[in-house]
């Protein structure tokens, strides 16, 4: 089951929830049902042709304008 990040429109807090099936998220602080799912950086491990680890997460990007690990626009 995936863990999602949410933002509560009522109390303005961010939180994570483990969601099962069609379960609806509820803010753990104020019990409000009007929450918005946030876009999260995914964690992954990419292997190169020799089996070496290339990158561990999209959040580790050195590019400040996007989440890419290499960028022809930025020259990274």
Q: What is the pLDDT of residues 17-72, one digit of tens each?
A: 998 888 999 999 999 999 999 987 666 666 777 766 665 544 554 555 555 555 55
| pTM greater than 0.75 (yes/no) | no
Q: Is residue 57 a part of any domain in this protein? A: no
Region at 11 (left for phi over 0; alpha for psi -120 to 50; beta for the rest): alpha
| Bridge pairing between strands 35-37 and 43-47 | unpaired
Q: Is residue 75 a part of any domain in this protein? A: no
Q: Which domain holds residue 21?
A: 3-37
Q: Is residue 69 a part of any domain in this protein? A: no
- Distance between CA atoms of residues 32 and 11, nearest Å: 8
Q: Is residue 52 a part of any domain in this protein? A: no
Q: Between vectors from CA 41 to CA 39 and to CA 46, what angle results, nearest 5°?
A: 145
């Amino acid at each position: 089951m995936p863990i999602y990040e949410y933002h509560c429109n009522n109390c303005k807090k961010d939180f994570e929830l483990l969601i099962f099936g069609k379960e609806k998220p509820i803010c753990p602080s104020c019990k409000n049902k009007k929450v918005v799912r946030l876009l999260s950086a995914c964690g992954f491990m990419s292997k190169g042709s020799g089996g070496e680890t290339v990158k561990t997460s999209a959040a580790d990007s050195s590019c400040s304008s996007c989440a890419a690990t290499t960028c022809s626009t930025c020259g990274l």
